[in-house]
Structure 1
Amino acid sequence: MSPKSSPNTSSAAPAADRVRSWLQGRDLAVFQSVAGRHWPGADPLLPQLSRSANHGLLWFGTAIGIAALGSSARSRRAALRGVASLAVASVAINTVGKGAVRRQRPILDHVPVMRQLKRQPVTTSFPSGHAASAAAFATGVALESKGWGAVVAPVAAAVAASRVYTGVHYPSDVLAGAALGIGAAFALRGVVPTRGQLPAPGRPPGEAPALPGGKGLVVVVNEASGTATATASLVRQALPLAEVVECAPADLSTAMEKAAGRGQALGVCGGDGTVNLAASVAATHGMPLAVFPGGTLNHFAYDLGIETVQEAAAALTAGDAIQVDLGRFRPGPKGPDGADGYFLNAFSLGAYPELVRKREHWSPRIGGWPAGVLAALHVLRGQRPLEAELQGRRRPLWLVFVGNGLFQRVGPAPGRRHNLADGLLDVRVVHGGRGPALRLLAAAVAGPLTRSPAHAAVRRRRVRIAGLAPGTPYAYDGEVAHSGTELLIDKLPEALTVYCPMHV
């Protein structure tokens, strides 16, 4: 034994014991202080709140409420991330946390009987699973939506406090559980990024006038589209100087042409089909477009990073705008002698128009992935492959998808475009041939905007489709029309100026 190391070694253990003893003493003192203190109104509330959080039931119900009451995709993402964060925290607590420190539960002598839970937990005390779940759910929600996070956080804090108040945990158990829950939410974010972490879309700057209060803006609202009527009320509140015109679908084209003639900028509130029409008018008149999400899905608005009226209003007030590509197909929906057709999101042929219609009808209720599978099964019962000449070669085709820019995946469903001005068409094809059911189902499961063995995926600046049977249906931005014998699809680079918040 070294005479120099022996005193240091022997003094370290008592020092650690003293620190541990002091921490345990403080932990017990705080626990007894909470147990002995009367909190007005807490006796009937906190025990019930603690019980409601058993097995995560409180948080699952809260997630359903957020998704149902929230009017944007951000709310639904917040609910989903909150539940996913809770699941990660629960796995960590039950597989590692509870077995790491086998601490006895507090003695209930100091806790009034009316506060005590009827069914006492049988697991070890450290760390608190309820606190971990509450913190994980609240943090996950806040990472996607600060507004909903502010609503959920006090409830999560109350659940964590209730575990000490009812005598089933020491304060350090709760603090450790909350730390693990927060860590689980951030760990999940490291694997599945939040929308705000994704790369910003391509943003060539555009010139547009600043319109404080909406002065000089005429907003045309499709009163039959999604939540457009409710959104129009929010537009009036956020932009009191703007002119808001609500009209039926049949009157949209006329209303937009008139609006383009008397305003400095054209605003639109509706779904992707309504926005498509407004984009065509705005591009033709060389004026900027303001998009307010008021449809069911709002793909273009969300790819811009606009999910609320307030975000669009902020861009208008500051005069922040970008330029985006405009997809074009010829001849347009009015026939060989009519105007060109345009698309902001996608153009499609074959079984895809019907598949899209069915999938988007079911997806708000059951989710995008299950809806895609059900839509594919429905289409298979009555559809046959399309016979057409694609890029000079005749072949049977189940699906032809042409995206205005490269589509990426966000989570389990096809989603965002990171660059709205890349000058390219994203062409995805599902060929006909043997096993058509498997091919179409594979496309639906993988997502029609995602590569799979059943797909051919290329980037093009122009696509030519010939040899079509007259009257073949096609879809563009959710609208359906019928073709002649040939279609030419290309792009107009940076042809449209759109108000867009620059911080997104």
Structure 2
Amino acid sequence: MMRRSGALRASPVDEGMKRLSRAANHSALWLVVAGVLATRKGVTRRAALRGVAAIGGASFSASLVAKRLFPRRRPAADLLLVPRRLTKRPTSSSFPSGHAASAAAFTTAVAMESPALAAAIAPVAAAVAYSRVHTGVHWPSDVAAGAAIGAGVALLTRRWWPLGRTEPASAREHRALEALVDGEGLVVVVNPSAGLGGDDPTDRIVEEWPKATIVGIEDLDTVIADHAPHALGVAGGDGSVAAVAALAAAHRLPLVLVPAGTLNHFARDVGVQGLDDAARAVADGDGVLVDLAAVTVDGEGPRWFVNTASLGGYPDMVRLRENLQDKWGKWPAAAIALARVLRTSRPMRVELNGEPQLVWMLFVGNGPYRPKGFAPTMRPALDAGLMDVRYIRADTRFSRARFFLGALLGSLHRSRTYRHLETRWLDVRLLDGEVAIATDGEVGPTGSTFEFRSRPAALAVYRPQG
């Protein structure tokens, strides 16, 4: 096969294959494609993120593991005409092809989230893989092995990162809410700085609901007294949603969700993908009742949360990320902060419902999360009346190493260092000092006693039928 490829007549394809092969060096081509895909929210962004994760695993497996275990000579340069040869030939082991591994990993990962996107990417990935044979730097079997490694790594990402759901979480039966024509009676609280790009959604909201009142997140404390709304809306990330949802629940007002944050976990789980979904539900008066959760800190509160609360290293990571993100950007700052906190964290001596425990961190979710391992990513139900409680024990030998190993292998739910339960209430008392609590990604007050409670059917949310 190599000789037949080398015997092909010279053509303009030769220069194209060389350029394509160089463009894919160090997975640069796929990282650029992922960056473009990530600009769109929803399944497109999930496909990009899964693709990047798969590239990382495939590059490690092919370049740092397989190449060292299976050294192999590259094809002889004289098998090809000079114009076909790469100017700078690689010197590492020929087996397997790292380019093919990255191309297959990215394409397979994207296909798991969006087959339509993968269909557009697959021809380019196939061309990249073949370019390594066409330019004479890999045997066909190198490419085949690399592609197999890449596809396998991409499929393995499901062990740590389940596929996104297309259906919303279950909620209590559809509730007939007031239909707000042109948004009359609706007050929308907008956080213009939410999201990766800081895209202010105010103009689109005004166009959709010309009779609605728009206020900034800084005016949240006075919104009820100043406007007496029939319904509260929120355009922002999960932190903004939690603050407005707490106000809506306290005043028994229905909530309108306009996803405008980076991840929009709560809106996604409720089943509101964008402004169009919210507008349809508001016009028709369709909605559901969903659970919330609340925590009191040293008797003060309650502090409501729509997604998660945590004690331990996460609040420290959030604080450090906020200090670093102006210099590094949000996601690099988060990675740096996580690495520092994991290296320096100390275990907490606590009582959980009266039982003494030594833990690294504690996670509490509003509703049961899945999967059961370290990285809960989805909620099948917002009407279970339960909280999802997870903690990492620090009282076993080599607990931190076992925790990292279990997380790496995707088997943390079977580890002795990991505990998971679903409950309606949880009382936490620190035996040494105080710690801060983080709710929905925002750092809250410090304290030594924390009382978590599930609040079933606490909030009415506009959600379209079907």
Q: Could you state the TM-score of these two structures normalised by the residue count of structure 1?
A: 0.63
Q: Is 1:345 matched with 2:307?
A: yes
User: Partners in 2 of 1:49 and 1:286 — Cα distance?
Assistant: 59
Q: Deviations over 1:340-396 (max 9, x none)?
A: 5422223456x567435347647954587874463356564xx9856xx75456889
User: Partners in 2 of 1:167 and 1:212 — Cα distance?
Assistant: 66
Asked if structure 2 preserves the Cα contact closer than 8 Å seen for 1:128 and 1:169, the reply is yes
Tell me the equivalent position of 1:355: 316
Change (3 A) 1:168 1:293: same
User: Partners in 2 of 1:472 and 1:193 — Cα distance?
Assistant: 30
Tell me the equivalent position of 2:112: 143
**Residue 459 (structure 1) shift:** 3.3
Q: 2:220 aligns with which of 245, 252, 258?
A: 252
Structure 1 portions without partners, runs of 5+: 1-23
**Residue 268 (structure 1) shift:** 1.3
Tell me the equivalent position of 1:62: 32
Asked if structure 2 preserves the Cα contact closer than 8 Å seen for 1:269 and 1:291, the reply is yes
Change (3 A) 1:169 1:425: closer
Matches within 5 A, 1:488-499: 488-499=451-462
User: Partners in 1 of 2:339 and 2:123 — Cα distance?
Assistant: 40
User: Partners in 2 of 1:471 and 1:126 — Cα distance?
Assistant: 54
User: Partners in 1 of 2:153 and 2:419 — Cα distance?
Assistant: 37
Matches within 5 A, 1:167-316: 180=148, 183-184=151-152, 187-188=155-156, 191=159, 194-196=162-164, 201-207=169-175, 218-227=187-196, 229-230=198-199, 232=201, 235-236=204-205, 240-241=208-209, 247-255=215-223, 261-263=229-231, 266-295=232-261, 298-304=264-270
Tell me the equivalent position of 1:375: 341
Asked if structure 2 preserves the Cα contact closer than 8 Å seen for 1:300 and 1:345, the reply is yes
Matches within 5 A, 1:30-49: 35-38=9-12, 43=15, 45-49=16-20
SS of 2:222's equivalent in the other structure is helix
How many percent identity over aligned positions? Answer: 30
The letter for the 2-side match of 1:423 is G
The letter for the 2-side match of 1:250 is E
Q: 1:80 aligns with which of 53, 56, 61?
A: 53
User: Partners in 1 of 2:132 and 2:395 — Cα distance?
Assistant: 62
User: Partners in 1 of 2:141 and 2:361 — Cα distance?
Assistant: 56
Greater Cα shift, 150-159 or 308-317: 308-317
**Residue 424 (structure 1) shift:** 1.6
**Residue 149 (structure 1) shift:** 4.6
Instruction: Please say which structure displays the higher CA radius of gyration.
Output: 1
Change (3 A) 1:390 1:256: same
Q: Could you state the TM-score of these two structures normalised by the residue count of structure 2?
A: 0.67
User: Partners in 2 of 1:195 and 1:182 — Cα distance?
Assistant: 18
Tell me the equivalent position of 1:53: 24
User: Partners in 2 of 1:274 and 1:156 — Cα distance?
Assistant: 40
Tell me the equivalent position of 2:445: 481
Q: Is 1:108 matched with 2:75?
A: no
Asked if structure 2 preserves the Cα contact closer than 8 Å seen for 1:63 and 1:80, the reply is no
Asked if structure 2 preserves the Cα contact closer than 8 Å seen for 1:106 and 1:168, the reply is no
Change (3 A) 1:77 1:353: closer
User: Partners in 2 of 1:432 and 1:175 — Cα distance?
Assistant: 45
Q: 2:86 aligns with which of 106, 117, 140?
A: 117
User: Partners in 2 of 1:107 and 1:213 — Cα distance?
Assistant: 73
SS of 1:326's equivalent in the other structure is strand
- CA-atom RMSD, angstroms? 5.8
**Residue 137 (structure 1) shift:** 2.2
Change (3 A) 1:223 1:67: same
How many residue pairs were aligned? 452
Asked if structure 2 preserves the Cα contact closer than 8 Å seen for 1:98 and 1:127, the reply is no
**Residue 230 (structure 1) shift:** 0.5
The letter for the 2-side match of 1:138 is T
User: Partners in 2 of 1:119 and 1:253 — Cα distance?
Assistant: 63
Tell me the equivalent position of 2:382: 420
Structure 2 portions without partners, runs of 5+: none
Greater Cα shift, 159-168 or 86-95: 86-95
**Residue 180 (structure 1) shift:** 4.2
User: Partners in 2 of 1:395 and 1:123 — Cα distance?
Assistant: 50
**Residue 84 (structure 1) shift:** 3.2
Asked if structure 2 preserves the Cα contact closer than 8 Å seen for 1:139 and 1:185, the reply is no
**Residue 220 (structure 1) shift:** 1.7
Q: Deviations over 1:6-28 (max 9, x none)?
A: xxxxxxxxxxxxxxxxxx8xx95
User: Partners in 1 of 2:102 and 2:136 — Cα distance?
Assistant: 18
SS of 2:422's equivalent in the other structure is strand
SS of 2:235's equivalent in the other structure is strand
SS of 2:385's equivalent in the other structure is coil
**Residue 275 (structure 1) shift:** 1.0
SS of 2:208's equivalent in the other structure is coil
